[in-house]
Amino acid sequence: MPPTPSATPATGPDPLGPATTAPATDPAGLPAHQPAAADLARVAARTAADLLAGPAPVRLGDVIPAPERVAADPTADFVLPADAAVRVSLDPAARDVGEQLAELLRPATGYPLPVTDVADPEGPLVLTLAGPGPLAVGVSGEVGAVDLGDEGYRLDVTTDGVRIVAVTPAGLFHGVQTLRQLLPAAIDSPTPVAERWVVPGGLIVDRPRFPYRGAMLDVARHFFGVADVLRVIDHLARYKLNHLHLHLTDDQGWRIAIDSWPRLATVGGSTEVGGGPGGWYTAADYRRIVRYAARRHVTVVPEIDLPGHTNAALVAYPELAPGKIPPPPYTGTDVGFSYVDPADERTYDFVADVLGEVAALTPGPWLHIGGDEAFKVRGAAYTGFVERAQRIVAGLGKTVVGWHQLAPAAHLDGRVLQWWGTNGDDPDIAAAVRQGARLILSPGNHAYFDMKYAPDTPIGHDWAGLIDVRRAYDWDPGTHLTGVPADAVLGVEAPLWTESVTSLAEIEFMLLPRLPATAELGWSPRAAHDWVGFRDRLAGQGPRWDRAGIAFHRSPDVPWSGEPAAPRPTVPRQLTAEVTDRASGQVHPDPAGAPGPPPTTNGA
Ligand code: TNX
């Protein structure tokens, strides 16, 4: 029951101001005189406000990824007032997080939300950078000290306001994403909504399980413009994913301008799967992506796939091809047929020039050199090539990342292998880890979001199986690989290959709702793993995506509630290409029966 106006505590300030006349009451409590019209209006307004009151619609723990510790206090809910300011520590990066909080809240609330670094610890929204070291916390009666580390945060909600404390701006940013999910779903509306902006009371202390949490977008099979990539970064940031891996080159297209080898982009970039026009990023485009990501505390990991998956480069520069024979452009979906000539020194000039330019454009520490499915470069020719490429990367001051096929090449300090197998019993990987390799886990049968959800979902492959939301969620990066201890696992990544994905709506359909599963595996403590709880929290994201106009798949294994508040975004077209079953090497005609690529000659 909402409280009646007379139940308002006498001690608290009346938000509607004092009444103009204090009405006398008779012994039965009825007004002794006819109230003035102004008084009636005041009571009506007050009653309406109180009717809108009530418990917060979101519970403090209803967050993805699940926070490490949550102590709800239902007596401490906070309602954001229209005149709130965002107060931040005197630090440019912290201030920018405050600006981003205001930018997130302004459209739906319509509130001005000025951002200031004038201190007022009592203010309604306060973001504070604390010094490093353990922070005293008391959650659920348990008192202790927690080291928030590079990305952790503490979020306190009391009736007076919301306070987020972190050691780094990244931690503040993650706290802001939590706050966003604690507000009613209408906060994702792009236009003002009449809503009581209530945040559930209590305390959250949170930090990630793994330092690397990411997604990959293949911009080579189909090209996606800068705006699409920025929108994907938004989705990552919302769920505290902190790496965007861009698969920039493949047989069907070369997507980044390289000054010293200009035809890579102008010639190699002009094709894509299915014969479309392709495209490529200029250095300015790429910098824009990197900057946008960095503001959201997301690091870009560029991949130049070598020595295989290079047909587009060979079309542009036949001198790199074996026998210097120019290949025709390729717009199908086969793999494993192309390679740069590992026996020619010119190839290493190319590798050094390309990796040098990409490294110079990339502030993050990683440089991904691919290494997968180079079926025609075998044995010593392959390991010799990889070892030289690894040394080039190290010489540029970057850390090598490569697909797990790199494992047989000699170990290089710090190198990271990205595992995409489907069987966690892989002795080569266990051996590489014993030599010091760290792993990013992208199990094909759990994290490959180019796999279909179900036989009848319109786009995607199924060579690694069908991946519904539960399958995306039900695995443990800490124990997934035999002989690989959790501390060798740098983190998780969900790759989205785009042979069958042609638009932003299709990217979103494939990523959502599975991407939050990867995010939770990478961030939340294992003890928080719980399918039913996750499924129910995930259902709460649906109305947010609807409000934001995001085209997600309404997976039947999630209890989505209600109908969207805004018209649903376009659903993906029916698949128009054939789907290659990589495990069997078979090509399956798509149900729609459209002409497809040539048959696969090599299984993975
Ligand atoms: C395997 S995983 C590939 C890609 C394909 C993908 C399709 C990996 C490193 N290589 O070339 O696009 O399967 O699922």
With cut-offs at 50, 70 and 90, classify the pLDDT of residue 348.
Answer: very high
By mean pLDDT, which of 7-16, 215-224, 253-262, 266-275 is the weakest?
7-16
In this predicted model, which residue has the larger pLDDT, 409 or 599? Answer: 409
Residue nearest to atom 12 of ligand 1 (CA): 497
- Each residue of 194-246: pLDDT tens digit? 999 999 999 999 999 999 999 999 999 999 999 999 999 999 999 999 999 99
**pLDDT of 149 higher than 80:** yes
pLDDT tens digits along 272-288: 999 999 999 999 999 99
pLDDT of 300 over the 90 cut: yes
Taking CA atoms only, the protein residue closest to ligand 1 atom 5 is 497
Residues 241, 491: Cα–Cα separation, whole Å: 10
Q: What CA–CA distance (Å, rounded) separates 289 from 447? A: 24
Give the per-residue pLDDT at 145: 78
Mark whether 373 is an active-site residue.
yes
The mean pLDDT value of the chain amounts to 87
Which stretch, 54-68, 467-481, 585-599, has highest mean pLDDT?
467-481
pLDDT of 396 strictly over 70: yes
Q: Whose CA is nearest to atom 1 of ligand 1?
A: 604
pLDDT score of 30: 33
pLDDT band at 141 (very low <50, low <70, confident <90, very high): low
pLDDT confidence band for 135 (50 / 70 / 90): confident
Distance 444 CA to ligand 1 centre (A): 9
E strand or H helix that includes residue 297: none
pTM for this predicted structure: 0.87
For residues 304 and 369, the answer to whether their CB atoms sit within 8 Å is: yes
Beta bridge partners of 502: none
Bigger pLDDT: 321 or 578? 321
Cβ of 420 below 6 Å from ligand 1: yes
Whether residue 493 is predicted with pLDDT greater than 50 in this model: the reply is yes
Region 550-555: mean pLDDT is: 95
Which residues lie closer than 8 Å to 465 by C-beta, 6 or more apart? Answer: 422, 444, 445, 451, 471
pLDDT at 139: 58
Contact 249, 305 (CB under 8 A): yes
DSSP string, 202-214: EEEEE--S-SEEE
Catalytic option among 151, 195, 272, 373: 373
Task: Pick from 373, 450, 467, 584 the residue to mutate for probing ligand 1's pocket: most ligand atoms within 8 Å of its CB.
Answer: 373
Nearest atom of ligand 1 to the alpha carbon of 333? 12
The single-letter code of the amino acid at 487 is D
Number of alpha carbons in the 13 Å side-chain half-sphere of residue 562: 14
pLDDT of 583 higher than 90: no
Cis amide prior to 513 (ω within 30 degrees): yes
State residue 4's pLDDT score: 31
| Number of other CB atoms surrounding residue 48 within 10 Å | 9
* Bridge partners for 586 per DSSP: 581
Q: Is the pLDDT at 52 greater than 80, yes or no?
A: no
Q: Which amino acid is at 327?
A: P
Q: Identify the pLDDT of residue 54.
A: 74
The closest residue, in CA terms, to atom 7 on ligand 1 is 497
State the Cα–Cα distance between residues 272 and 458, nearest whole angstrom.
20
Say yes or no to pLDDT of 417 above 60: yes
Answer whether residue 513 shows pLDDT above 50: yes
Q: Averaged over 502-514, what is the pLDDT?
A: 98
58-63 long-range CB contacts below 8 Å, 24 or more apart? Answer: 58/181, 58/182, 58/183, 58/184, 58/185, 58/200, 58/540, 59/200, 60/157, 60/182, 60/200, 60/201, 60/202, 60/204, 61/537, 62/181, 62/182, 62/537, 62/540, 63/178, 63/181, 63/182, 63/204, 63/537
